[in-house]
Amino acid sequence: MNYFLYLKKIIMIKKIKVQKRISNRTYPSKLCKKEGCYSEFIPTDGRQVYCCSQHRIDSNNDKRKIVDKFESEFKIKAKQNRFVLKKINESAFYKNEKRVSKNLLIYEGYEFPIYHKKVIDKKINREILVCYEYGLILVDTNKKLYEIVILENIK
């Protein structure tokens, strides 16, 4: 091979390499986001976060499971709260007192962070923690006393 042809060949190879780089645009390597995988991969798309499609599917299933688990745990606790409110509301003690202490609620298994929504009753300017058809209203801040209301009865 003469020198001229040799040079021409090298230039051709270089051109092919450059063209290839432009057409197959590469992204910086990333770590797979699937829990427990952490393989390094080169994305073929800038938004790719998993090393392979199986890990994308697995990861989305895991996320769904976490959401389902959270929802079912919430439901169990909300039902428990409803049970406690019903039990106290129907007790002779509550019918007489019309108030229940925070301690008794907690003792019976009521969980304050669990409620469906918070509503402000504008008439009395108090917050109502709504759990199913029950509402719990703090009526005495110092003594931490609550009133239980059945919401259908308010409206």
Q: Interface with Zn ion by CB under 5 A: which residues?
A: 32, 34, 37, 39, 51, 55
| 55 or 136: CB nearest Zn ion | 55
| 34 or 131: CB nearest Zn ion | 34
Query: Sign (positive/negative) of CA torsion 79, 85, 88, 89?
Result: negative
Backbone angles phi, psi at 135, to 5 degrees: -125, 145
Count CB-CB contacts under 10 A for residue 50. 20
Could you tell me the smallest distance in angstroms from the CB atom of residue 70 to Zn ion?
A: 24
| 47 or 155: CB nearest Zn ion | 47
Taking the C-alpha atoms of residue 95 and residue 46, their distance in angstroms, rounded to an integer, is 64
Could you tell me the smallest distance in angstroms from the CB atom of residue 34 to Zn ion?
A: 4
| 33 or 86: CB nearest Zn ion | 33
- Residue 148 near residue 94 (C-beta atoms within 8 A): yes
Could you tell me the smallest distance in angstroms from the CB atom of residue 28 to Zn ion?
A: 17
Could you tell me the smallest distance in angstroms from the CB atom of residue 36 to Zn ion?
A: 9
Q: What single-letter DSSP state applies at residue 35?
A: T
